[in-house]
Structures are given as C-alpha cells and as structure tokens.
Amino acid sequence: MSGSRPSSVSSKASVGREPRPGPYPNPKLDDSDIDRDRDPEAALTRAPSGPVYTTFTPTTRKWIVTMITFAGFISPMTANIYFPVLDAVASDLGVSISKANMTLTTYMIMQAFSPTLYGDFGDAAGRRPAFITSFVVYICANLGLALQKNYAALLVLRMLQSFGSSGSLALCYAVVADVAVSAERGKYMGFVSAGINVGPSSSPVVGGVIGQYLGWHAIFRFCLIYTAVWLVPYVLFVPETCRNVVGNGSTKPTAWWNMTLLEFVRGRRHPPLPGSEEEEEEKAEGRKTRPKLRFPNPFNTLRVVFNPDLGLLISYGTIVYLVFILICATLGTQFADRYGYNQLQTGLCYLPYGIGCTVAAVVQGRILDWNYRRLAKKMGMTIDYKRGDDLSKFPIEKARLQPVIPILGLGVLATIGYAWALETTTHVAGPLVLLFVVGLCVTGSFSLVNTLVVDLYPEAPATAVAATNLVRCLCGAGATAFIDAMLQKMGVGWTFTFWPLVVVVFSPIIYVLMTRGPGWRAQRKARFQRERERERKEEKERLANEEILEGSDESSAAIVEKAEEEEGEKRVEDGIPVIERKKGESSSS
C-alpha cells in the first residue's frame, strides 16, 4: 500500500534514507538499524561512529575508581579524625579549646589552596605524578606529627599535612571524568563521593577508638600506615588516565612519571631495537604526548570561579557544605557536654551520620544516571556509552539539579529538627536518627553539585574541582572559627536553624542555573574553541618558522661547506695565490 509505512524495514532498503526530524535532531542518527518510533529504548543505545571515549576495560575502570575512592577518604578523614580527642590535645599541650580548634581552621585554609596547585599540576603533567607527590608529602607530615610534643609544631605540621592530602580531592573527581562518559558519570561519582563524604563522618569513630586506647599521637601513625599501604598498589598497577597525556587510554605514556612501575620495568627490559620503525614511532609519539613539567598556576583555578554558571554553582554548593561541616565540627563537643560522653562514645555518635553519607553516595549516583536517561529519552537523544555524548544541546544542568530540590528540602527539615532535639536534650536516639537523615540528604545534595561542576568544565576537571574546594574550604575555615561564638550567643537550636534557612534563601540559584546555564555553557565553549584555534594557529606559525630556520641553516651550512672546499684548493705561497694540486696529481717541474 503506497500510503502506509511498512511494518518492518530492512537495513538494505533503508540505506541513504534521511532521518525523521524530531524534537532533538541528531545528524549522526541512522534509522537503518532501528526504527526510533517503534523502539525508543533501543534508539537510546545506538552509537555513532568515532573514537571511543575510553579504551580502559570495565574491569580496569572499576579498579581505578576503587583505588581513588580509598584515596578520596584520606583528606576528609585527616581533617576530622581527632575531633573526639580535642579535649585531650588541649590538655596535653596546655592550650585552650579555642587554640586546639585553630588546628582545624589552619588545616582547612591549606585545604583550600592546596588543590589549586595539584589540580593544575594534575591536568598538565598527569594524575599519577600529582597523586604520588601529594601523598609523599602527607606521609612525611604524619611522621612529624606522630613525634611532635608542642602546639607550634602541631599547628605547622597540620598545615603541611593538609597541603599533602588535600590535593587528592580534586584529582579523584578528575579521574572519574577521564574514564566515565557523562551518562555513567553519576554512578562512578557516587563511589568516589562515598570515600570523600564518609571520611568526615566515620573518621571521628576511628579517632575516638584510637585516642581512647592508644593516645592521640597514634592517630597520625594510623594515617601514615593507611596512606603507605594505599600507595604501594597505586605505584605498581594503576595506569595514567589524564586525557592530556594518554588521550582515551590508547596512547602509551612516554614519561617515566606517568608509567606504572611495571610498565617502566617492562620498557627497560624490552626496549625497541635501535633504528627500528618501532623506535621511530615511539620517539615521534613521545614528542607529541610527553607532558611538559611546569610550575602549577593557581590563577587557572580563579578563572573557573569567574564563570557565571560555575560561580553560582560553587557558591550554592559551599552554602550546603557549611551545614554539613559545621554539624561535624560541633557534634563531638555537643554530645560530650549534653550527654556526658567520653571520647569513644562521642566518636560512636558519628556513626549514623557516616551511614547516611555512605548510603547517599551510592544512591545519588544512580539517581543522577536515571534522571539523565529519562531526559535523554524524553528529548529523543541517543546515549552513547562508548564515545560519550555531545552535551551542547542537552540540558545537563537540569539533569543534575532536578534531584537536588526534593533531597535538599528533606535535609533542611532534618537539620532544623536535629538542632531543636539537641537544644531540648531529648533522648539521644532522636538527634542520632536525624543525623542519619542529614547525612543522607545534605551530603548527598553536595555530591550532586560536585558532579555538575565536572560536567560543566570537561577541559580541566581537576582545576574545576579545585576551584570548588578553594571556595568551600575558605568559607568553612571562617565558619568553624566563629561557630563557638554563635553557639554561645544563639544556642544550638537557633544556630542550626539559621544555616538551613540560608540554604533556602539562596535556593533560587538552582532555577537560574537550569534556565540560563545552557546559554552560559555555550558561550564558554565558544570561547574555548576560539582560544584553541588561536593556540593551533600560533603553533603552526611556530613550526613554520622553525622549518624556515632549519632550511636557512641547511642552506648556510651548504654555502659554508662549499666555500671551505674552494678555500682548501687555494694556497697562498709567497703572496701569490695558486691552485692546490689535488691528491694523486703529479707536480710539474
């Protein structure tokens, strides 16, 4: 029948057919294999041609993400692990509680600035040298902290400890961006967030147990051992993932600092034969991909903050983070004062918070991926799990921020309930249950925001996360410095009612980002493209000039060589130039 569409279309008959226009036109869409109208789910799984996003196998990706999840635990663990022993620290060193709290403030100040260096270093030189440098500094600082016995040494070494560990925060999120397409990024971000978010809430439990039975100096020995044990398999087996160094994983690293120890040893044992084609290819590839070591530029991080969408997103995420970190910073002292708990009991009070953070980290990633698929299906967009999606026409802001609204709303209510449960000193089960909900919702919302930061700045994800870290840690350091004064003047009830209400007041930022964010993102992408075009043009001009100089040098060398030959044939004898007889010619009498 001429007017009806056939029930099945063979691939041979449909070759060359133009794709049917839809709400989200895709020039790469090919209807020869699957009819989108009849099977929208199958249409979402089709993949256009082009290079894959990553060549790392699923097993390798899981191994990499597992390792960086344990690495992400280190910095927040170190910040909060001795919350339960602050009284003991102040007593042993003969200082006030306020001075003991200053070690937290200085730690967070350095935690703000350290990722600005490590983030840019990791984007330029690779993730491996940045991770290894970071944790070697951290191990040395812990060794000093385990041996120190005065307040000044504690203050300085805590800053050095923060400088070593805090760089890993930006690098962990960057590694996820290296190996995971945007459609699956939420799941992997969830696992990494589990390490980062569980640290502040579960480490006080560890610190309370160690402080109760081994003394607070043993806390730093524990941090040293944990990091050293992590570093061994990382150096041996975890490959370089930075896309500026190895691309999608198909390019072999040429610098030794980007190789695993096994790759380095294998390369030394089986080098390519001198003069072989393999050696020439390696040299050519090395000239293209070998990263240039340079001093990190912290101002690259500041550039991220001045983007309108990223600036708003980072600011809002910082406000949410303040609710999270201020509860952590005051939980131990509040439960000790109101319920008379010792160090071990105070540390155990962090468990519900930690469990909530863990559940949030795992669940929020799957929620993000589900919402991404839902919006893609609604728009008729093809999700490409191998090569990644072009987000230029996809509302990634809406996909990431829509789940924040209900989750954070519940977190605000739970925080206010927790505040007044403590204010009235109800049965301890009340505030502990509410702590679980706060960890689940408030921390989960903060992780959702971090995922969007990486999506919006794929050119340098470590630098983008470093910008987030800079703002939130500076604000967190300021807030922890005066939270005791707020508690004394306002009481715990009104203090922790004030901060959730600040979150509510600034929540219209979410609507602004979902409506105006795509336009700002498009402007930034166009600006980056212009910058890359200019850089490519300058690089071409530089190479052309080098070729001209090499050509002129060759011409000059040929002229000089010819002149020397002619000069060699001439000899001045008795002031009269004569032609030198060539070797083998007989001299005339």
Could you write out the three-class secondary structure of 507-548? CHHHHHHHHHHHHHHHHHHHHHHHHHHHHHHHHHHHHHHHHH
The residue among 2 and 241 whose pLDDT is bigger is: 241
The residue among 123 and 285 whose pLDDT is bigger is: 123
Q: Are 310 and 304 in contact (CB under 8 A)?
A: yes
In this structure, what token pair is assigned to residue 93?
Answer: 């060193």
Question: Which of 45-49, 316-320, 468-472 has the largest mean confidence?
Answer: 316-320
Q: Report the alpha-carbon distance of residue 71 to residue 234 in Å, rounded.
A: 10
Query: How sure is the predictor about 115, in pLDDT bands with cuts at 50, 70 and 90?
Result: confident
**pLDDT over 60 (residue 431):** yes
Q: Please tell me the predicted confidence (pLDDT) of residue 565.
A: 60
**pLDDT over 60 (residue 141):** yes
**pLDDT over 80 (residue 172):** yes
Q: Please tell me the predicted confidence (pLDDT) of residue 17.
A: 42
**pLDDT over 80 (residue 539):** no
**pLDDT over 90 (residue 459):** no
387-399 mean pLDDT: 82
The residue among 456 and 268 whose pLDDT is bigger is: 456
Q: Report the alpha-carbon distance of residue 57 to residue 316 in Å, rounded.
A: 36
pLDDT digits (tens, 9 = 90+) for 280-313: 555 555 544 555 655 666 677 778 888 899 999 9
124-149 mean pLDDT: 91
* Nearby residues of 35 by Cβ (< 8 Å), 6 or more positions away: 9
CA torsion, ordered 346, 352, 358, 359, to nearest 10 deg: 180
The residue among 279 and 343 whose pLDDT is bigger is: 343
544-548 mean pLDDT: 72
pLDDT more than 90, % of the chain:
19
Q: Please tell me the predicted confidence (pLDDT) of residue 140.
A: 94
φ, ψ (nearest 5 deg) of residue 219: -60, -40
The residue among 279 and 225 whose pLDDT is bigger is: 225
Q: Report the alpha-carbon distance of residue 555 to residue 561 in Å, rounded.
A: 10
Q: Please tell me the predicted confidence (pLDDT) of residue 44.
A: 39
Nearest 5 degrees, angle CA 194-CA 172-CA 362? Answer: 20
Q: Please tell me the predicted confidence (pLDDT) of residue 274.
A: 62
Query: How sure is the predictor about 390, in pLDDT bands with cuts at 50, 70 and 90?
Result: confident
**pLDDT over 90 (residue 198):** no
Whole-number Cα distances in Å, 538 to 382, 459, 531, 532, 534: 37, 20, 10, 10, 6
Alpha-helical runs (H) found in 126-181: 127-147, 151-165, 167-179
Q: Report the alpha-carbon distance of residue 23 to residue 43 in Å, rounded.
A: 14
Q: Please tell me the predicted confidence (pLDDT) of residue 353.
A: 83
Q: Is 474 exposed, middle or buried (0-12, 13-18, 19+ CB in 10 A)?
A: middle
* Nearby residues of 141 by Cβ (< 8 Å), 6 or more positions away: 157, 158, 160, 161, 163, 164
The rounded radius of gyration (Å) of the Cα atoms in the chain is 31
**pLDDT over 70 (residue 489):** yes
The residue among 215 and 450 whose pLDDT is bigger is: 215
551-565 mean pLDDT: 58
* Nearby residues of 414 by Cβ (< 8 Å), 6 or more positions away: 434, 437, 438, 441, 442
Q: Please tell me the predicted confidence (pLDDT) of residue 498.
A: 93
**pLDDT over 90 (residue 504):** yes
* Nearby residues of 348 by Cβ (< 8 Å), 6 or more positions away: 205, 208
Closest CA to 323 of 442, 417, 404, 482: 442
Q: Please tell me the predicted confidence (pLDDT) of residue 330.
A: 84
pLDDT digits (tens, 9 = 90+) for 28-64: 444 434 343 444 333 333 344 567 888 899 899 999 9
**pLDDT over 50 (residue 14):** no
| Helix/strand/coil for 579 | strand
Q: Please tell me the predicted confidence (pLDDT) of residue 12.
A: 38
Q: Are 122 and 174 in contact (CB under 8 A)?
A: yes
* Tokens 């016995």 belong to residue: 149
In DSSP terms, which residues pair with 577 in a beta bridge?
572
* Mean pLDDT value across the chain: 78
Q: What is the helix (H) or strand (E) element at residue 570, kind and residue range?
A: strand 570-573
pLDDT more than 70, % of the chain:
79
**pLDDT over 60 (residue 334):** yes
Q: Is 339 exposed, middle or buried (0-12, 13-18, 19+ CB in 10 A)?
A: middle
Tell me the HSE value of 575 on the side-chain side, using a 13 A CA sphere: 0
Q: Kindly write down the DSSP assignment for every residue of 469-511, as one continuous string.
A: HHHHHHHHHHHHHHHHHHHHHHHHHHHHHHHHHHHHHTTHHHH
**pLDDT over 70 (residue 278):** no
Query: How sure is the predictor about 81, in pLDDT bands with cuts at 50, 70 and 90?
Result: confident
